[in-house]
Amino acid sequence: MPIGSDALQLDELVLGVRFHAEITLTSDLAEKYYRTMTRVRSGLFTSKIIQPGAPLVLLHESLGTQCLVTTNSLEFRESKHLDQESFAKISHSLVTKLVEIFEMNDDNFRLFGKIYRYRLRLPNVLETFKKSVGMFANDDVRYLHLRTAIREGGKNVHFNFQTAEKEGKPVKDEILFSCDINNADQDSYQTVKILDEIVAFADKYNKQCLLDVLNAKLQAE
């Protein structure tokens, strides 16, 4: 049976950003960033954790949003709304305001990535997946964790498959799956323009290509 969109449950969207040069993460700048983002994106965050020498954490527990800023990275997670358009706008705002407030060079970025995290639910999908990895087809494999990487359109496309568990036992009809897309060139100094390109590419790939890729890889009939 081919994999349909109803077999994929989207659990989380993640933005990942890495810097070339570290930023100075002071308490005053962290507080300014938090207050700026609550004005720019009303209701996005309702609390913060600011401690000297520690990463900045912005939170909204009921909305399932979290932003973590360290001296060399930013990560934004969203697990409730899960809308591509709003996530893209929020991602752009988070990065542009970071550049402004922390007085970064606007090309100080090494990596931009967007991750879609899913649960893939199909009858006996764990066995189907095992058979798709030929070297294990005849083994009594109960747990799987496979990460692959391909290059497409100047982007890295990573797939991460992992056995789902319930009460310490593998779930035969579910696999945890993520699609992580980032820029292939991580040596050059990238700008926010590349962020927008990566997010747009990831959204299009997950909407238009992902099911075909999964059906081909899992040899679903």
pLDDT at 53: 85
pLDDT category of residue 220 using cuts at 50, 70 and 90: low
Determine the angle formed by the axes of helices 84-101 and 192-208, rounding to 10 degrees: 160
pLDDT category of residue 134 using cuts at 50, 70 and 90: low
pLDDT at 221: 46
pLDDT category of residue 219 using cuts at 50, 70 and 90: low
Q: What is the pTM of this model?
A: 0.93
Q: Which residue has the tokens 């600011």?
A: 50
At 68-85, the pLDDT tens digits run 999 999 999 999 989 999
Give the list of residues 6+ apart from residue 132 with CB closer than 8 angstroms, or none: 217, 218, 219
Cα(9)–Cα(5) distance, integer angstroms: 8
At 137-146, the pLDDT tens digits run 677 777 778 8
Nearest to 124 by CA among 113, 132, 116: 132
pLDDT at 93: 97
At 175-184, the pLDDT tens digits run 999 999 999 9
pLDDT at 1: 62
pLDDT at 218: 73
Q: Where are the alpha helices (DSSP H) in the chain?
A: 27-40, 84-101, 125-132, 192-208, 210-218
Task: Give the total number of structural domains in the chain.
Answer: 1
Q: What is the mean pLDDT of the chain?
A: 91
Q: Residue 151 belongs to what domain range?
A: 5-218
